[in-house]
Chains A and B, each alone.
Chain A
Amino acid sequence: MTDIKRRQMLQMLGAVPAVAAFTWTREEAVAAAEQAGEARRQAAASNQPYTPRFFTAHEMATITALADLILPKDDRSVSASETGTTEFIDYLISEQTDRQTAIRGGLAWLDAECLGRFNKAFVDCSDAERRAVADDIAWPKRARPEMSQGVRFFNTMRDLVATGFWSSREGVADLGYMGNRMTVWNGAPENVLQKLGVSYD
């Protein structure tokens, strides 16, 4: 049995010595992290479809539509809803109970606005109709005063969708974040230094 497997077994059994009786080498830590990550991915893949914890099916559909309006698919990456953003927002708000009323209410505000203008809910609106409403609440400085509640709600949704998308595997790749791995630090590369007009000399 390899040392790593032995440790994992001990850990599962709750029998790992409480304080470092052994020290991980870099290679062991890499291997253990990879194994643990793979185990988590497999566990996630085998899960049942996500069951909403707080929002209704209609609310989930509205959040999905908003997420893809805010961060749509483009030539670099998929749309926000394809990265688990809707599920993230539901899970988060199920825990952040003090925000539940504001967000549920914001979704209701959006539907009321769409019903008033187009006689249908946001999810049933055409793309042009959705944009017409969004244009009135997505730009805080130019929005009309009577849209202030909608502006506040859209700011909240923009932030939630940004976390959902950019912290996803796809979002991380899109941004080009290259870290969270074991590496050797030799400073910033030359093209970065040149762009900023700095050097190590």
Chain B
Amino acid sequence: MQIIRSPKVYDVCIVGSGAGGGTVAKVLTEAGADVVMVESGPMWNEATDSAMLEWNYESPTRGWSSEKPFGAFDGCIGGWDIGGEPYTVGTGAWRWFRARMLGGRTHHWGRISLRFGPDDFRRKSIDGLGEDWPITYDDIRPYYDKVDQFVGVFGTNHASETGLHNEPDGIFLPPPKPRAHELLIKKACDGLHIPVVPSRLSILTRPLNGRAACHYCGQCGRGCATHSNFSSVSVMLPPALASGKLTIIPNAMAREVTTGADGLATGVSYVNKADRTEHQVRARIVVLAASCCESARLLLNSKSTRFPDGLANSSGVVGHYLTDSTGLSVSGIIPALMETPRYNADGVGGMHLYVPWWGDNKALGFPRGYHIELGGGFGMPGYGFGGGIQNYPYSRGGGYGADLKAEYRRYYGASVSFSGRGEQVAREDCYCEIDPNVVDEWGIPVLRFHHTWSDHERLQAKHMQETFRSIIDAMGGTPTSTMPGPEADYGLAAGGVIIHEAGAVRMGSDPKTSVLNAHSQAHDVKNVFVADGGPFASQADKNITWTIMALAWRASEYMTDERRKGNL
């Protein structure tokens, strides 16, 4: 048994093929770089592998899956539990979702594509908590523009109309008209002075850059065979491959970043999962885009005499300031929606309207906000349909027979849901580290997580609960659950459940308190970059993917410039 070394030295090796890795591959190959991409899962392509337009009755389990947490037809291979790839938890609770496939976690998300706003890069200056970013909104704005124009996102500019200055304008395709129940939610929210505006999703409502417009089957989560929504495979990788400059190595589980005598990275070692052989691929620049925790794990596992605490970790900050979005949901039954005439309410694969954060935190007793994702309508019946009907508000309380059958029909389309997704304040004591005792099946030491919520998040969750219940009340409905109390963190999901983790390899101006500089470049090792959620100095009340891609695009242009100048 021996290590198989690639004879070729690539310009760049990217670990991971998702939002960050895909963006770096596109920008760098178009700039002429020779790029190799190491991906831990199999090749995958929406055009041939998607379960678009299949019916739940075509599945013997009606769509339930023992392996895929989001169902048998879901387009994402992966989950919180992956055979042979354990992780451990020390303090608190944490769930670690991983995708193992080409395109990574761009196959799992609601395509909610929100820019961070000007305040989101300087929260410490505003409320004294956490840390400011080393960049401002103006630094990243041109890259958000590029992402908007290349990937495509629908929405509206409403900052001047709503006064929500931290919800920046973008370059939007026209939004789809709201669904009927969304209009009903908006009507109730108008009375409560809660803004309901068109959502911002990376789904094409017009053809763009050779991709067809959405056909409104509502099943974005299965992967879109016409490439009408965003995934790295549909959007970022095709131009990179078309350049002839991208080599993809699938089923390659990265073990560590290799380094030379000069302290610079020389490439990446990996296990070929298909035959368990050990390989090394060499490159002049290494870009980690493996997801924030996986990238932190790679750095921490890249130990040497020169870097005893792991690569790029002289600060000891790698793994720390790990955050996830806060999250909880409340559903309600709305009598006004019962017996609504049926129509095809699928629309795009996600909400047409949403609620950006509208509150004034100075007046609220908790420092950071959240947005609200709206659910409801006539969804495709599948596994779990009508579950627990005996507990539904306004129901007869169980039973059987023809009356029960009629009751299910009455409830169809009569529920709405509100999901809050908010900002956690980043803390040093929320972190991942290498577990000294456990390895995965490839012999790679695994992560041990420590994550807890503070009152900043608990009080925000309380506000979510009260708000969602007040909206349901204003709609004349009844929530399907009672409000959890402080003993249950007001219903907050455990860290990692919302799958928005960021931080752990954060950027900053001071090499003593951060891993990366403002260009996502390691302070300690100039030819190592991170291009996933890792560089985030803070979360926001927004999904992180659009910022991952804008940062990755910006870092890629910086790499190109530095190469031209001879600095890399």
Q: Are A20 and B238 in contact (CB under 8 A)?
A: yes
**Per a CB cutoff under 8 Å, which of A24, A162, A181 touches B225?**
A24
Which of B75-83, B323-331, B374-382, B538-546 participates in binding chain A? B374-382
Q: Are A7 and B348 in contact (CB under 8 A)?
A: no
Could you tell me the distance in whole angstroms from the C-beta of A146 to the nearest C-beta in chain B? 17
Q: A19 and B55 in contact (CB under 8 A), knowing A163-B385, A200-B177?
A: no
Q: Is B89 an interface residue (CB 8 A)?
A: no
Q: Are A84 and B57 in contact (CB under 8 A)?
A: yes
**Per a CB cutoff under 8 Å, which of B211, B216, B348, B386 touches A23?**
B211
A32 CA to B226 CA, complexed, in Å: 11
Q: A192 and B341 in contact (CB under 8 A), knowing A71-B405, A177-B381?
A: yes
Q: Are A168 and B53 in contact (CB under 8 A)?
A: no
Q: Are B183 and A178 in contact (CB under 8 A)?
A: no
CB contact list, A150-198 vs B, under 8 A = 154-155, 158-159, 162-164, 166-169, 171-172, 174-189, 191-193, 195-198
A88 CA to B397 CA, complexed, in Å: 25
Which of B40-48, B289-297, B358-366, B490-498 participates in binding chain A? B40-48
Which of B121-129, B269-277, B387-395 participates in binding chain A? B387-395
CB contact list, A44-75 vs B, under 8 A = 44, 69-72, 74
A154 CA to B237 CA, complexed, in Å: 51
A87 CA to B57 CA, complexed, in Å: 12
Q: Are A179 and B397 in contact (CB under 8 A)?
A: no
Which of B59-67, B279-287, B511-519, B525-533 participates in binding chain A? B59-67
Q: Are A178 and B343 in contact (CB under 8 A)?
A: yes
A183 CA to B376 CA, complexed, in Å: 20
Q: Are A70 and B404 in contact (CB under 8 A)?
A: yes
Q: Are A181 and B46 in contact (CB under 8 A)?
A: no
Q: Are A164 and B399 in contact (CB under 8 A)?
A: no
Q: Are B400 and A134 in contact (CB under 8 A)?
A: yes
Could you tell me the distance in whole angstroms from the C-beta of A167 to the nearest C-beta in chain B? 4
A175 CA to B379 CA, complexed, in Å: 10
Q: Are A198 and B386 in contact (CB under 8 A)?
A: no
Q: Are B389 and A158 in contact (CB under 8 A)?
A: yes
Residues of B within 8 A of A189 (CB): 341, 343
Residues of A within 8 A of B233 (CB): 19-20
CB contact list, B144-186 vs A, under 8 A = 176-181, 183-184, 186
Residues of B within 8 A of A7 (CB): 47-48
Q: Is B241 an interface residue (CB 8 A)?
A: yes
Q: Are A166 and B400 in contact (CB under 8 A)?
A: no
**Per a CB cutoff under 8 Å, which of A17, A40, A176 touches B58?**
A40
**Per a CB cutoff under 8 Å, which of B215, B227, B344, B382 touches A178?**
B344
Q: Is A29 an interface residue (CB 8 A)?
A: yes
The digit string for A21-49, where 1 denotes a CB below 8 A from any CB of B, is 11111100100110011001000100000
Residues of B within 8 A of A142 (CB): 397
The digit string for B337-351, where 1 denotes a CB below 8 A from any CB of A, is 101111111111000
With both beta carbons as reference points, the residue of chain B lying nearest to A141 in the complex is identified as B397
Residues of A within 8 A of B389 (CB): 158-159, 162
**Per a CB cutoff under 8 Å, which of A70, A84, A163, A192 touches B401?**
A70
CB contact list, B305-353 vs A, under 8 A = 336-337, 339-348
Residues of B within 8 A of A186 (CB): 177
Q: Is A92 an interface residue (CB 8 A)?
A: yes
Could you tell me the distance in whole angstroms from the C-beta of A147 to the nearest C-beta in chain B? 12
**Per a CB cutoff under 8 Å, which of A25, A88, A139, A159 touches B386?**
A159
Q: Is B97 an interface residue (CB 8 A)?
A: no
Could you tell me the distance in whole angstroms from the C-beta of A165 to the nearest C-beta in chain B? 8
Q: Are B61 and A92 in contact (CB under 8 A)?
A: yes
Q: A192 and B180 in contact (CB under 8 A), knowing A20-B46, A23-B210, A23-B211?
A: yes
With both beta carbons as reference points, the residue of chain B lying nearest to A157 in the complex is identified as B400
A141 CA to B389 CA, complexed, in Å: 13
Q: Are B177 and A185 in contact (CB under 8 A)?
A: yes
CB contact list, B232-285 vs A, under 8 A = 233-234, 237-238, 241, 248, 250
Q: Is A138 an interface residue (CB 8 A)?
A: yes
Q: Is A119 an interface residue (CB 8 A)?
A: no
Q: Is B398 an interface residue (CB 8 A)?
A: yes
A169 CA to B56 CA, complexed, in Å: 9
Q: Are A179 and B60 in contact (CB under 8 A)?
A: no
Q: Is A91 an interface residue (CB 8 A)?
A: yes
Interface centre among A25, A95, A134, A175 (most CB of B within 10 A): A175
Interface centre among A69, A77, A179, A181 (most CB of B within 10 A): A179
Residues of A within 8 A of B178 (CB): 187, 200
With both beta carbons as reference points, the residue of chain B lying nearest to A182 in the complex is identified as B215
Could you tell me the distance in whole angstroms from the C-beta of B216 to the nearest C-beta in chain A? 4
Q: Are B404 and A71 in contact (CB under 8 A)?
A: yes
Residues of B within 8 A of A192 (CB): 180, 340-341, 343
Residues of A within 8 A of B248 (CB): 18-19
A192 CA to B184 CA, complexed, in Å: 11
Residues of A within 8 A of B340 (CB): 192, 195-196
Residues of A within 8 A of B109 (CB): none
Q: Are A37 and B53 in contact (CB under 8 A)?
A: yes
Could you tell me the distance in whole angstroms from the C-beta of A22 to the nearest C-beta in chain B? 7
Q: Is B383 an interface residue (CB 8 A)?
A: yes
With both beta carbons as reference points, the residue of chain A lying nearest to B56 in the complex is identified as A167
Q: Is B52 an interface residue (CB 8 A)?
A: yes
A71 CA to B384 CA, complexed, in Å: 16
A92 CA to B399 CA, complexed, in Å: 23
A-B CB proximity, top 5 nearest: A187-B177, A179-B346, A176-B342, A18-B43, A188-B180
A: which residues have CB within 8 A of B?
7, 11, 16-26, 29, 32-33, 36-37, 40, 44, 69-72, 74, 77, 84, 87-88, 91-92, 95-96, 134, 138-142, 154-155, 158-159, 162-164, 166-169, 171-172, 174-189, 191-193, 195-200
B: which residues have CB within 8 A of A?
43-48, 52-58, 60-64, 66, 102, 176-181, 183-184, 186-187, 210-212, 214-219, 225-227, 233-234, 237-238, 241, 248, 250, 336-337, 339-348, 378-390, 397-402, 404-406, 408-409, 412
Please give 15 more A-B residue pairs, beta carbons under 8 A apart, in addition to A167-B57, A176-B378, A196-B183.
A18-B45, A33-B225, A37-B53, A71-B400, A84-B57, A88-B62, A139-B398, A159-B388, A172-B381, A174-B409, A178-B378, A180-B53, A180-B219, A180-B380, A193-B180
23 contacts between A and B (CB under 8 A): A18-B102, A19-B237, A19-B241, A19-B248, A22-B47, A23-B210, A23-B227, A24-B212, A24-B227, A26-B215, A40-B58, A69-B400, A139-B399, A141-B398, A159-B387, A166-B381, A171-B381, A175-B378, A176-B378, A179-B344, A181-B217, A193-B180, A196-B180
